[in-house]
Amino acid sequence: MYNRTVDSTVNGELDLIRRVAAGDQQAFLSLYDRYAPQVYALTLHILADSMLAEEVTQDTFIKFWGRARQYLPERGSFGVWLLTIARRTSLDRLRLEGRRPMLSDARDPDSVWDGLADGTQDTAEARWRSLRFAVLGLPEEQRLVIDLAYYRGLSHSDIAAELGWPLGTVKTRIRAAMQALRRIWSEDDPVKSKGDGLDVD
């Protein structure tokens, strides 16, 4: 059934983004209040340091302020686009600090999903919640490699070295996990499946 409330919410968000692109600080603050908790949850999970997570959250929104015109709604939801910026900024900070992700944190990846979506705001939030449950439904080995690759920024070779697994095993498990997640994502919203933000570097 067509949801006019959802459509209105999405259109209102697009209007805020356009206003940010035009330099509207109030629109920027509205989007900051809406998305800062999700951005912080993701950056904290990646960096495992509250101070760094706060800094990277601010950096993410500064980048949004300067790049608002680059957001293209036809390529995916704003929330996914913003979290992609947050992820890349976090990984850049890890490299700058010369730090490697802590494997002990990566063995328990489930907690990050709790902060990423509340499932009540709009279709983008609902997709994040469905993706969370999809990740929780993966076999433990697949969840682990997805967390290390996507949230921790490790290459396939790095994951193999960290876990003591053959490189082929790592690649196979990542491929299987990504196929499962993309299938569920596409079922939820086939139009936006290409802009899901699930690419693993």
Chain segment 47-83, per-residue pLDDT in tens: 989 999 999 999 999 999 999 999 999 988 899 899 9
Provide mean pLDDT across the span 26-30.
95
Residues with Cβ within 8 Å of residue 196, at least 6 apart in sequence: 76, 80, 182, 185
Do 132 and 159 lie in one domain? The reply is: yes
Q: Supply the pLDDT for residue 106.
A: 42
**70 is a domain residue:** yes
Residues with Cβ within 8 Å of residue 44, at least 6 apart in sequence: 50, 53
Residue 48, amino acid: A
**200 is a domain residue:** no
Q: State pLDDT tens for residues 156-184.
A: 999 999 999 999 999 999 999 988 887 77
**138 is a domain residue:** yes
Q: What is the CATH number of the domain that holds 88?
A: 1.10.1740.10
Identify the domain containing residue 4 by its residue range: 1-99
Q: Supply the pLDDT for residue 65.
A: 95
Last residue of one domain, picked from the residues 80, 99, 118: 99
Residues with Cβ within 8 Å of residue 60, at least 6 apart in sequence: 39, 43, 82, 85, 86, 89
pLDDT beyond 50 at 107: no
Do 49 and 9 lie in one domain? The reply is: yes
Determine if the pTM surpasses 0.75. no
Last residue of one domain, picked from the residues 99, 130, 164: 99
Provide mean pLDDT across the span 31-48.
92
